[in-house]
Structure 1
Amino acid sequence: MMREQSDVIVCGGGLAGLTLAYQLRKENPEASVTVVERTTRPLPEACHKVGESSVELGSHYFGEVLGLKDYLQAEHLKKNGLRFLCGDSRGPVAERPEIGPAEFPIVPSYQLDRGKLENDLRAFCEELGVELLEGEHVRAIRLGKDGAPHEVETSAGTLKGRWVVDASGRRRMLSKQLGLRRPSPNASSAAWFRVAERVLLNELVPEGERLWHQRDIDGNRWLSTVHLMGRGYWVWLIPLSTGYTSVGIVADAEHHPFGTFNKPEKALAWLREHEPVLAERLEGRELEDFRLMHDYSYLTERMISADRWACVGEAAAFVDPLYSLGSDFLGMSNCYAARCIGDDLRGTLEADVVEALNETWVRVAEDAARTLSGNGEVFPHGDIFGAKLWWDFFNYWSFMCAHFFQEIWREDAATLRRFLGMQARYYALNSHAQAILEAWGALKPTPFGGRKRFIGLPSFPSTLADQHLSLQEDLDVEGTWAKMESDLAIGQQLVAEILAHALRDLGPETAAELGRRAGLDASWGLPLAGERIDADALPRRQRIEKLPRIARDMERALGRVDPGVPLSELLARALGTGAEAGAEAEARA
């Protein structure tokens, strides 16, 4: 039976499809929107899906773009940022370097109970007039040609729509049909489950460790997404508003074959081997809703087309859960799709806008994949991973968040193209940063690095804290561009300081190999010369006065290693220009 045509058919009524339908009706009240979803209500409130933890961009999308801030604060848990514990995973938790917020972040994010959220979103969508076809299964999508409507064949009949949006998650109907999948450099897998009680980080540390417990001044450490880091893996602990705790294992194939944790009993045995303190806390608890994602990461060459189709959320790409970016990519893809659909319904859609938005989204996903792959040797070291987090968060807030928060995606094609040029510059700098960090991790001679027991993320006051707070600013296009330019210069200083920390930590014997592995070249243009190099050799008090602010911030956060060799000599060796001078210095010593 042929049904009446809709303006938009959304294939899939999970988080991506429901939020897009809600957004479309809010922004285009006259548009007819149909969502086809195979499951029916009520969904179990503690249902277990990846995507429970959100960060700044995704939270901004849910709270501000969709207008759900009051609902989220009333019905879900406000999140105390991301928290990471590195070091000896088999040793006492109190002795592991802890990296995370010292105070509750001002820019909000949330721990989402997906079952409750999706139940409520279905009701919200119906209140706005979305047609929700529950219990229907999408069997096929047939794209119309030359402006003809698309057809969606379901278990109950055939639908026609001007636009069709694939929100089918990892089923990726359109991506498979059109051959859009691109491989990701991230070869990792995950297993996760939930337990019907709170599993608190503080419970893993004896009460006698008073200094450790005193760092949690307000008793809200448990509201963080906790990451227990080890070589080639990390384990998450996420509290849910229903009283459950989500527990997940994420591991790369190089260090931890999928078959070692792909069943409940194997996962528990794996935890006993790698995270014994947590395993002891979970002993005897029922593992509910055990789930798996093997080789989970994939990219795409296209998420939206001027031919009136789009892929949103995981139907487009999935990078990695380490930084909880799933809802970020969901929010970006939904906004890009909603903007283009709205333009089309008003008769103003430009193909150049579609192409620029698609290129922006695809590049952001590629950049995130570069950031979140090859980190297995970085994770155990509090100093290296701390440096990585400083850079990754600064980079994330400087471009990806700024582009979204300031709604650059609503601008014309010329402006979007202009910002693509800025994006490419950030991408290049990020590639340099990741190369240094990966080489540093691979060459680290000790199994666990990092002298600091606690690294604030961000620490106050600091350049990083200022960058986080700047997300609250309301800037126009030129103001956003100027800030990105300024932040890029600070970012170059930050990457230079990461290189300086790596060189001092590894010392003269390994400096040349660090440079070789990272592909270090003077053409990178890192500001590590002149007065900055001279200041490094000064006594501490004078050095602190002369160093740029970002260098002082990094030294305060990560500490400082003195290898007994000037930074200028270490840098020369890393660049391949100081080998003879280094050999002479060693001979004299």
Structure 2
Amino acid sequence: MHKVIIIGAGPSGSIAGALLNNLGYQVTILERQQFPRFSIGESLLPQCMEFIKQAGMMDAVVNAGFQFKNGASFVYQDQRTEFNFEEKFSEGMGTTFQVQRGRFDEILANEAARMGVDIRWQMEVTAVDFSGDKPRLDVRDVEGNISHLEADFVLDASGFGRILPRLLNLESPSGFPVRKALFGHIEDRIDDTGFDRNKILITVHPEHKDVWFWLIPFSNGRSSIGVVAETDFYPSSDSNETVLQRLLNQDDNLHKILKNAVFDDKINDITGYSANVKSLYGKGYALLGNAGEFLDPVFSSGVTIAMKSASLAAAILDRQFKGESVDWQTEYATPLQRGVNTFRVFVDAWYDGRFQDVIFHAKQQPEIKAMISSILAGYAWDEANPYVSNARSRLDTLVELCRAG
């Protein structure tokens, strides 16, 4: 029986582990932490549900009591627009959930373990060797003991830990400016009757259009709140809590919504999160999700890309183990990158203000809005959508039309 080692038990690791286990392979997941643990990326996209269903985990997620999500709201000063993901161009599910990632990731990992995946907690990969017939990994447990493991193939699902990119010198500049996010969970106490808990709220700073806030409501009366800006936008002397609350108060709409909120938890920060690699695969390994590339949190694409990579990699690896000829570039890296590049076009346009001109335009065409909604819902690989197959030129043309009135 072929053996696969997966580094990391987050969404891409658990989905890949379940898919390969269900195909009959021996799967071991090595996770450095103990779940549950805090993570961002809490507003899922409907495309995620397709991969959760494929892995056989749908019932566990649906029955977990997470906050229902059917779209996204965008606000800039007195302008507001909403996208209902059920009114999209692409086939597939149009609803999903907003989740506390600690619990969500634990549910996926527990489901993978229930199916038969061997998950080993608090195991850190310290060295790798892909020069022999089989990949070898040095793994350190919580007591400092080192063990040596072999596999037929290794999938790196380590997320921001980026284990193989670091150990194999695969890291590459992302091309995005260095940005910093401040974020945490609050008891939101929202009593604004106009606020829709079924949608993520993305708010553009009233004076700085490249600075934005997220507000992700959960089902338990709490919310995830965060702000993203380039590093030099933030003062250097104040605490994260002070800076975040001061910035929130600069927007009248957010100040009104969160007037009763209790900031009762730590406000975290992450800087320079965007990342890229020289290659998504090599002899005996492939990189999944954030271990390969992370763009930006603005459209919540991270978990979707992670699960898409897990689905692609599992299918290719199955064929490879069966003795078929596979090409990881044309069957994995290129197709995965196609969707990532679609997201990249819209992320670029968000920060330079062009996409904001589109979504806040007064006369939106329903057909075009449905196509944009599909991408915001995660269907960035649907080549039937003109804003996927020809993303940059289509968006450029749409921007010109919107700006011309």
Q: Shorter-chain-normalised TM-score: which range?
A: 0.7 to 0.9
* In structure 2, distance between residues paired with 1:343 and 1:299: 27
TM-score normalised by length of structure 2? 0.83
Residue 227 of structure 2 aligns with which residue?
249
* In structure 2, distance between residues paired with 1:257 and 1:57: 34
SS at match of 1:107: coil
2:333 is aligned, of 339, 351, 358, to: 358
Asked if residue 191 in structure 1 is aligned to residue 162 in structure 2, the reply is: no
* In structure 1, distance between residues paired with 2:330 and 2:190: 46
* In structure 1, distance between residues paired with 2:375 and 2:301: 20
TM-fit CA distance, 1:98 = 0.8
* In structure 2, distance between residues paired with 1:143 and 1:468: 42
* In structure 1, distance between residues paired with 2:103 and 2:344: 30
1:236 is aligned, of 208, 214, 225, to: 214
Asked if residue 71 in structure 1 is aligned to residue 60 in structure 2, the reply is: yes
- The answer (yes or no) to whether the contact 2:10–2:109 under 8 Å persists in 1 is no
2:246 is aligned, of 269, 272, 284, to: 269
- The answer (yes or no) to whether the contact 1:304–1:337 under 8 Å persists in 2 is no
Residue 11 of structure 2 aligns with which residue?
15
- The answer (yes or no) to whether the contact 1:6–1:160 under 8 Å persists in 2 is no
TM-fit CA distance, 1:349 = 3.9
* In structure 2, distance between residues paired with 1:269 and 1:59: 36
* In structure 1, distance between residues paired with 2:374 and 2:152: 41
1:130 is aligned, of 113, 117, 142, to: 117
- Structure number with the higher strand fraction is 2
- The answer (yes or no) to whether the contact 1:340–1:349 under 8 Å persists in 2 is no
- The answer (yes or no) to whether the contact 2:127–2:167 under 8 Å persists in 1 is no
* In structure 1, distance between residues paired with 2:67 and 2:373: 20
1:385 is aligned, of 346, 356, 376, to: 356
CA RMSD of aligned residues (A): 3.4
TM-fit CA distance, 1:140 = 2.2
- The answer (yes or no) to whether the contact 1:186–1:372 under 8 Å persists in 2 is no
Q: Deviations over 1:325-379 (max 9, x none)?
A: 01121012212221222122212142x3444421333454345334313644528
Q: What amino acid is the match of 2:308? A: M
TM-score normalised by length of structure 1? 0.59
* In structure 2, distance between residues paired with 1:19 and 1:104: 24
* In structure 2, distance between residues paired with 1:326 and 1:150: 29
Residue 33 of structure 1 aligns with which residue?
27
What count of residue pairs does the alignment treat as equivalent? 386
SS at match of 1:132: strand
Asked if residue 368 in structure 1 is aligned to residue 343 in structure 2, the reply is: yes
Residue 90 of structure 2 aligns with which residue?
none
Q: What amino acid is the match of 1:291? A: N
Asked if residue 85 in structure 1 is aligned to residue 75 in structure 2, the reply is: yes
How many percent of aligned residue pairs carry the same amino acid? 19
Q: Which runs of 5+ in 1 are unaligned?
A: 88-95, 204-212, 214-219, 390-449, 473-479, 505-559, 561-589
Bigger Cα displacement from structure 2, 169-178 vs 261-270 = 261-270
Q: Deviations over 1:295-351 (max 9, x none)?
A: 21112222223x12012121111101111101121012212221222122212142x
Q: Deviations over 1:250-297 (max 9, x none)?
A: 11346x23737762222222323x325534635672341422110211
Structure 2 CA distance for partners of 1:344 and 1:498, relative to 1, 3 Å? same
Structure 2 CA distance for partners of 1:103 and 1:487, relative to 1, 3 Å? closer
- The answer (yes or no) to whether the contact 2:12–2:288 under 8 Å persists in 1 is yes
* In structure 2, distance between residues paired with 1:373 and 1:103: 22
1:311-326 correspondence to structure 2 within 5 Å = 311-326=287-302
**Higher relative contact order (CA closer than 8 Å, sequence separation 6+):** 2
* In structure 1, distance between residues paired with 2:390 and 2:106: 45
* In structure 1, distance between residues paired with 2:391 and 2:272: 35
